[in-house]
Amino acid sequence: MQQTPEHVLVYYLYHSGFAIVTKNHVLVFDYYRDCPSGGSTTADQILAAAHGRHVVVFVSHSHHDHYTPAIWEWPEKCAAISYVVSNDVPIPEGAAATLAVTVVSARQNYVVGALDVTAYASTDQGVAFLVEADGYRIFHAGDLNWWHWEGEPAADNLAMAASYRREIDALPKEVAIAFIPVDPRLEQAYALGLTYFMSRINAGLIFPMHFADDYSVFAWLRRDLTKEAMERIAEITPSPLPFYLDGSRTLSTNERSTNMNLYEIKVQDMHGNEVALDKYRGKVLLIVNTATECGFTPHYGDLEQLYRQYKDRGLAILDFPSNQFNQAPGTVEEIHAFCTGRFGVTFPLFAKVEVAGENAHPLYKYLTSHTQFAGFDMTHPIGPRLDAKLRAANPDYHLHPDIKWNFTKFLIGRDGSIVGRYEPTFDMAILRSIIDGVL
């Protein structure tokens, strides 16, 4: 079995909730609410963007911060869905008869469609999951943790330690992705479970979890773990962006792109003069491919509002008109007159470029080689139509990172790293919140 993650996306939903998108599956673990501070990718968006994949919803136990009855409404939102739930999770009357539900107990193995699932005992309630999906071995601990509480009887803490070690020692010695509790309420013992897990299991990438909004745990980990250990840790932030996993070492978008140099790329302004992107070093950039006859053309107005609100704090918006999708006819001068006259645009317009294919501008080859297409928001009015149009031309269009449509946006940090890629259906209000946080 291949144990290095390659074409996999991992979305942080909240607390211990994650969604993993593989070639044929969307695995949702311990979802109970959307929108951590600063915005998130919602479960609705992930389900809508499943693109024919089999959705499998895992619930490790019934605690309120790991489970919500809302999951039983999800069959209305996606074509193929199954459930794998611990035997303490309440199942609505009739759901077991009408839905594909597998109820699991610890130390038992189950086949769920094309998945192989093994349940392990929790040190609290319910189970932990080991899932083999599309060539990847994925471990979600649920509430299986080394819960060492100050003030508890020594015998209880010793029994807890033994129980935790017993379950971890029963795992395979190698997994691709692991989700492990790191709870700041445990104070000095917050990472006991994580460090023991890392000493026993070779995991390609580890996602700390069970910290709610307290992202300070990552500062603690940087303080307490070695540099080599931190290379295996995914540092989660309150963002809708997925973690992109590739090669022998898994890297987030930020980590990957800091190894490249955006500022070496040169473009042309609307008058044909060469402009080095190094000119924008130290600024936050929003790079957009635009069109004047597109259903998303009103985004010009939203972009101008962003620019006026944040330009004094260091935001620059770079507008690259493109007729790649036959919706930006006319000369660049005509496009400029349209944008300034109709939307009052004041951010800089650059020369028309191609954004996809062999003739794509080097800037767009760079941007798409360091990001992936995460799907359209199917709750957006244009999302389903756009998906149907592109799928009719290429059923596998969503597997490739090239630009799909006008008004795809790339947010670049002050250090030149790619903060995120946002398809045209992405909520502009959430994007505003993300930009505010980056600035």
| Burial of residue 277 (number of CB atoms within 10 Å: 0-12, 13-18, 19+) | buried
Pairwise CA distance, residues 182 & 303, whole Å: 39
Query: pLDDT tens digits for 375-390?
Result: 888 889 999 999 999 9
Catalytic, 35? Answer no
Half-sphere exposure of 92 (CA within 13 A, CB side): 12
3-state secondary structure of 205: strand
Residue 244 has a pLDDT of: 61
The residues with which 318 forms a beta bridge, in sequence order, are 287
Residue 138 has a pLDDT of: 97
Pairwise CA distance, residues 276 & 263, whole Å: 7
- Does the model's pTM come out above 0.75? no
Query: pLDDT tens digits for 54-68?
Result: 999 999 999 999 999
Pairwise CA distance, residues 295 & 382, whole Å: 8
Number of H helices, E strands in the chain: 12, 19
Half-sphere exposure of 297 (CA within 13 A, CB side): 17
Q: Which amino acid makes up residue 281? A: R
Q: How far is CA 276 from the centre of its chain?
A: 31
Q: How many CB atoms lie within 10 A of CB 406?
A: 25
Q: Which token pair is 352?
A: 């028309």
Alpha helices per DSSP H over 242-323: 253-257, 299-310
User: Which DSSP helix (H) or strand (E) runs through 14?
Assistant: strand 8-14
Pairwise CA distance, residues 209 & 250, whole Å: 18
Residue 247 has a pLDDT of: 29
Residue 60 has a pLDDT of: 98
Residue 42 has a pLDDT of: 67
Ranges under pLDDT 70 in the chain: 1-7, 34-42, 49, 238-241, 244-260
Q: Report the phi/psi class of residue 126: left, alpha or beta, with left for phi > 0 and alpha for psi in -120 to 50.
A: left
- Selecting among 35, 78, 294, 339, the annotated active-site residue is 294
Q: Enumerate domains of the chain plus CATH numbers.
A: 8-251 (3.60.15.10), 262-438 (3.40.30.10)
φ and ψ at 340, to 5 degrees? -75, -35
Angle at 177 between CA 49 and CA 247, to 5 degrees: 85
Q: How far is CA 377 from the centre of its chain?
A: 14
